[in-house]
Structure 1
Amino acid sequence: MLSFYDWIDAIRYRWKLVVFTMGVLALLGLLYVAVTPRVYTATSSLLLDTGAPDPVGDENGGGRQQDNRAVIATQADLVRSPHVSGNAAVLSGIAKDPRYIEQWREATGGKVAYADWLRGKMRGALEVEPGRDTNVLLIKANASDPKEAARIANGYARASVESQYRLRTEPAKAYATWLENRLKAAQINVDKSGKQLSSFARATGITNDGDLSSEGSLTAEVSTQLAAAEARAAAARQTGGEAAQARGDAEKSETVQRLRGQVAERSGKLAELQAVFGPDYPDVQRTRAEVATLQSQLNAQLANANSTFNSARAAQTGAERAAAAASEARLRGLAAQQRSRMLSMGTNLAKYQQLKNEFQAAQTTYNDLNQRLTKMRLQSAVPLTEVQVLDTASTPLVPSSPNVGLTLALSLVLGALLGAGAAIWLELRDPRVRSRIGLERRLGAPVIGTIALPRYQGAIGGRNDDNPLLLEGRAA
């Protein structure tokens, strides 16, 4: 059984066969390259900037955060759409190219609409590939003419940007038209509500936006004074307090204070005498009589003073009660007048505030519509899209198909494999011993010597007789 080294020796021995096979396959590869139509690929690229802030949008809105993969997939489908394909044919000038018109006639005989056929033709030459881990979309166009391939790729790039611009601006234009009609109606409403508010203000005399702070302050002050007058009248109407006050004034008189002191002094002395001599002692009885006399004088003086002070207090209380009642009645009338005035002014003011709120609401609606209309006009006019042309396609110099280098490399590799396989097959049919190692493997015994045969040189078949046979030996 042949080993790997025997195969290597066989391939080395039949190297001419391997080279011949490689040459034949290389010629076949060149023939394939020569007969295969040339296809040129031009590439343009689009940049999808989904995170850039919108200068027309909300200033506090920041960038438009979106899923980049979804955006790129959507944009790729948009590039492949029939609308973009037809627009790309127009922008690249292919739609008016006589060659395509002639191809359309030959292919369809005029039975299919030229626009539909051309869109299919354009889509057949298109390849859309998203960039790896980037926001770049590659647009590749294949054509037999390198200039035509570049025209198609650049036409698709321009059509994609224009389609994005239309998708952005056309809804904004339609919305702006609708807002203009709404704005006219809002302006009429503002004028109407403004005239109503002005006429009512002139009719009622309300100024300073109907400020009733001064009237409210006056009403509060009158109410405070009325509450105080009512409290004084209520206190004056209280009965029973005069007698107590009269008794208090009588107690404070000098005579009563003197007699009360004498009664206290004699009562103290009576207690001492009675404790020492008993109740029947003459001095005790005399002192008791003195205490009784002084107490009788005190009671008489208290009654007289109480009567005097009670009369004075009654007269004073009556005067205070009359004065409090008069003040209460006067302030009550002022308060009623002020409340009637405030009620009348409040009714007008409520109507004034209603008309004012209607005017402010109409003005707010108008301002909001005007702001949104300005924004829509800017959005429909500003040439801003999320898609921009990053690179334009240039005319390719080398065809993308067939690939000459790759074809020749594959032909040579395949020729080498076929040549090596043929050499091994021939070796299997007619095995030979080509080395000392192969001989040892076959015989199972060591080789003790080798003889180097004379080398051929000069003419083919000649021998070098000057070189003696060389004998090599080794130990067994």
Structure 2
Amino acid sequence: MTLQQFLLILRARFRVICGVLAIVVVAAAAVSLILPKKYTAQAALVVDAKSADPILGNMIPSQMMASYIATQVDIIASDRVAQRVIDITGLDKQPQFQEMWQEATEGRGDIKVWLASALKSRLDVKPARESNVITLSYTGSNPEFVAMVVNAFAQAYIDTALELKVEPARQYASWFDERTKGLRDDLEAAQKRLSDYEQQHQIIASDGRLDVETARLAELSTQLVAVQGLRADSRSRQSQSGAAELLPEVTQNPLISNLKSELARKEAERDQLRGRLGPNHPEVGKVAAEIGSLRQRIGSETQRIAASLGTTSRISAAREEEIAAAVEAQKARVLELKAHRDSIAVLQRDVEAAQRAYDLVTQRLATTNLESQTQQTNVAVLTPATEPLWPSGPRLLVNLLLAIIVGGVLGVGSALLIELADRRVRGEDDLSSLPDVPILGVIPSAGEALAGGFLARLFRRPAEGY
């Protein structure tokens, strides 16, 4: 079909097209006027997802913001929020809604579920593209009712969001509370084991007995080394008892030194008397007797000193044995205290581990208790819904415009369908498409003839010779 044929068909079926268009427009106008008016109420919510949680202190990452807002939109459109709206408004207790539910379901199922589904079907939730604002829209025939429902949805969403935040915290708080009791018992048991061990062995974990006993052991060890040195020295001197006169105790003894000086003086006096009186003189014999007495005294004193060295050696040996036994006993005591201290350290570590676990769970319990008792959410009503003054539908002008478009399309379609059912010749192209039918001529219409004659005179060439 060429464009000329299409235009010829439209011109020939112009009345049909206008009739269909008029019918569609009149029907749309009638329906728009007959249908009850609809009102739309809107409320805006703002979700503060960028501020830190006042209890936990955590924040939502920026890359998860879109997902978080989408989750909030799904929560608003959930059955839980819709059923909470019914609880807030009490629609399930109103007779007209109960009658509607009876007619629709014949009393089957739950009225809250049916009403929630009906409310959700007229609710529109749209998040803003570049902000954290969520818009709630509800359409109905009663302006007061739609405003109430939108505000109820906003309040129900806030309450549900708070419940979703608080319920896990309450469950965790209950679990932490039970766990705290067990950890408290473990801590008390660990403290009791430590206390019983200290009382049994008469040891306090914080006392300095081990340091005192260790210092005493060091002192005894020092004394043992000193006594062992004295004993070794005594043995060395005792081994020299054959030459007792050469011992330092003998050479340094003042009495022996005086006796030796007296002996030297007497010997010198004897030599003088012997040279002057002769060796057999009584005076020489008297001095010789005194010299012998002095030598006897020096010898006895030297023997006494040598004998005292043996006594000192025996005393040193006994002292060494005594101190060595004390050192061994002190070592055993120190080792015993170290063993007790190690056992106490193990028990203390058990107490500290139990204390840390108990403190950690107690801290978490306090945090979850605070979180479970919070009444604040990160959602606020930015713009509450008000009763709409003007209806949002049906829109007469929009419906008429759509009716004109639809009516025009239906009219053209109807014209084409009628033309196909009743095919007629509309121009030269229709005749040229017929087989074995020559075209002898074309008779123009009156309008075309007039227009053609005027154009021929207008563009006619002038005759030669003019």
Q: Which band: TM-score by shorter chain?
A: 0.5 to 0.7
Matching residue of 1:381:
373
Distance 1:329 1:153, change over 3 A: same
Q: 1:267-282, aligned counterparts within 5 Å?
A: none
Distance 1:170 1:406, change over 3 A: same
Q: Secondary structure at the match of 2:53?
A: coil
Count of residues in correspondence between the two structures? 356
Q: 1:179 aligns with which of 171, 176, 179?
A: 176
Matched, 1:136 2:128: no
Distance 1:168 1:222 in 2: 70
Query: Does the Cα contact within 8 Å between 1:50 and 1:65 map onto a contact in 2?
Result: no
Q: 1:362 aligns with which of 315, 334, 354?
A: 354
Matched, 1:200 2:197: yes
Matching residue of 1:249:
none
Unaligned runs of 5+ in 2: 1-6, 8-17, 233-312, 412-425, 428-443, 461-466
Distance 1:377 1:32, change over 3 A: same
Q: 1:74-473, aligned counterparts within 5 Å?
A: 74-207=71-204, 209-211=206-208, 212-216=210-214, 336-410=328-402, 442-443=455-456, 445=458
Q: Secondary structure at the match of 2:376?
A: coil
Q: 1:3-22, aligned counterparts within 5 Å?
A: none
Distance 1:230 1:157, change over 3 A: farther
- Opposite residue 368 of structure 1, the aligned amino acid is L
| TM-score, length of structure 1 as denominator length | 0.58
Query: Does the Cα contact within 8 Å between 1:89 and 1:122 map onto a contact in 2?
Result: no
- Opposite residue 80 of structure 1, the aligned amino acid is A
Distance 1:33 1:414 in 2: 15
Matching residue of 2:295:
none
Matching residue of 1:46:
45
Query: Does the Cα contact within 8 Å between 1:54 and 1:63 map onto a contact in 2?
Result: no
Distance 1:214 1:65 in 2: 63
Distance 1:55 1:229, change over 3 A: farther
Q: Secondary structure at the match of 1:67?
A: helix
Distance 1:64 1:382, change over 3 A: farther
Distance 1:440 1:226 in 2: 155
Q: Following TM superposition, by how much is the alpha carbon of 1:345 offset from its aligned partner in structure 2, in angstroms? A: 0.4
Query: Does the Cα contact within 8 Å between 1:92 and 1:154 map onto a contact in 2?
Result: no
Q: Following TM superposition, by how much is the alpha carbon of 1:64 offset from its aligned partner in structure 2, in angstroms? A: 5.5
Distance 1:332 1:385 in 2: 79
Q: Secondary structure at the match of 2:88?
A: helix
Q: Following TM superposition, by how much is the alpha carbon of 1:377 offset from its aligned partner in structure 2, in angstroms? A: 1.1
Q: Secondary structure at the match of 1:389?
A: strand
Distance 1:388 1:337 in 2: 79
- Compute the RMSD of aligned alpha carbons: 5.3
Distance 1:41 1:337, change over 3 A: same
Q: Following TM superposition, by how much is the alpha carbon of 1:378 offset from its aligned partner in structure 2, in angstroms? A: 0.8
- Opposite residue 160 of structure 2, the aligned amino acid is S
Distance 1:441 1:375, change over 3 A: farther
Distance 1:332 1:441 in 2: 154
Query: Does the Cα contact within 8 Å between 1:225 and 1:331 map onto a contact in 2?
Result: yes
**CA deviation vs aligned residue, 1:41-99 (integer Å, no higher than 9, x gap):** 22223333333211221x4x455566122222222222222222211112123222222
Distance 2:446 2:221 in 1: 136
Q: Following TM superposition, by how much is the alpha carbon of 1:411 offset from its aligned partner in structure 2, in angstroms? A: 5.9
Identity within the alignment, %: 28
Q: Following TM superposition, by how much is the alpha carbon of 1:342 offset from its aligned partner in structure 2, in angstroms? A: 1.6
Distance 1:401 1:192, change over 3 A: same
Matching residue of 2:64:
67
Query: Does the Cα contact within 8 Å between 2:86 and 2:112 map onto a contact in 1?
Result: no
Q: Which moved more, 1:380-389 or 1:63-72?
A: 63-72
- Opposite residue 340 of structure 1, the aligned amino acid is A
Matching residue of 2:55:
56
Distance 1:354 1:47, change over 3 A: same
Query: Does the Cα contact within 8 Å between 2:44 and 2:384 map onto a contact in 1?
Result: yes
**CA deviation vs aligned residue, 1:144-165 (integer Å, no higher than 9, x gap):** 2122222222222222221121
Unaligned runs of 5+ in 1: 1-6, 8-18, 235-321, 420-427, 448-476
Q: Which moved more, 1:396-405 or 1:96-105?
A: 396-405
Q: Which moved more, 1:206-215 or 1:122-131?
A: 206-215
